[in-house]
Amino acid sequence: MSLQLHERYSLKPFNTFGIDAQARLFTEVSSDDQVREALALAAQRGLPVLVLGGGSNLLLTRDVEALVLRMGSRGLRILGEEGDQVLVEAEAGEPWHPFVQWTLAQGLAGLENLSLIPGTVGAAPMQNIGAYGVEIKDVFAGLTALDRQTGALREFNLADCAFAYRDSLFKQQAGRWLILRVRFALRRTAQLHLEYGPVRQRLQAQGIDSPTPSDVSRAICAIRSEKLPDPAELGNAGSFFKNPLVPVALAERLRAEHADLVSYAAGEGQVKLAAGWLIERAGWKGFRDGDAGVHRLQALVLVNYGDASGAQLLQLAQRIQADVAARFSVHLEIEPNVI
């Protein structure tokens, strides 16, 4: 056996909330063969499997009676170029932000708006991660995944993945597909997206009138660092709630009651509301109950001030959901995976 197995292993270093839950068994894999070996071992022992990337989209509310499989595969490569477009591939275990920085160092544009997002490359398609007007689906070129039901490899194109707002086939069919590597179509010539949020204003304040992709990345890193706490210093999983989609009629009613309502047209008779605005207006920003709290600068972020349990954080999230629903008739959906 090439796997290193650990029994009753603390997952505190492997989730950004810093929750001290234990795994029944834990192993880290770095190749397709090790993935298959780990899955076979779990089947042999009658254990379910929980796949971990960077643990940045996870809330552990209890010990995990499963084989926790951490993806540690590494590798970055340029597969080919056609005209202005460059196809790159990254192994699932690659940390996301260093991968983005690697693409910029190669002179490639497309991922700069997704800078400083925690997690790994393999986890990115699960949530169709997005920020500042760009989502994974906008630059996605394909991925390779293992079907845990059959053991076969399958190649996925854009249409196969059923990407939606913070959603995908892989999230809908949780537990079936294990993503091994992901491909992206990037460009030598930048097509910058500066319209969303304060990106353009930040660049202008720096005197940058003709920004490069690296300029955009640095600006977004600065903005995110100001808005979001560093998990290494304060446990969190980034945005804890999705921005809700509501019917136009409800959005119009809320705007009549709250002139400063933050919203974005979403098409098909829907409007996207800013979950952070709803939570802040409901009075939860900066709230703390023991070591479970809401960040003082960003109401969308739940934080662990030290020794909060996952159950305590989930209870706080549920209190916020109930209050926002009562005040605004809006249901907030939790973004991290809750175990």
List the catalytic residues.
Answer: 166, 239, 335
Q: Cα(336)–Cα(314) distance, rounded to whole angstroms? A: 11
φ/ψ (deg, to 5) at 301: -110, 120
Pure H helices in the chain: 32-45, 96-105, 124-127, 169-172, 199-205, 213-227, 248-257, 275-281, 310-328
What is the number of residues in the chain? 339
Cα separation, 19 vs 31, whole angstroms: 28
Written as one letter, the residue type at 273 is L
Specify the pairing of strand 235-239 against strand 301-304.
antiparallel
Q: Report whether 287 contacts 298 (CB < 8 A).
A: no
- What are the DSSP calls for 150-197, one per residue? T--EEEE-TGGGT-BTTB-HHHHTTTTEEEEEEEEEEESS------ST
Dihedral angle computed from the Cα positions of residues 181, 12, 173 and 2, in that order, rounded to the nearest 10 degrees: 50
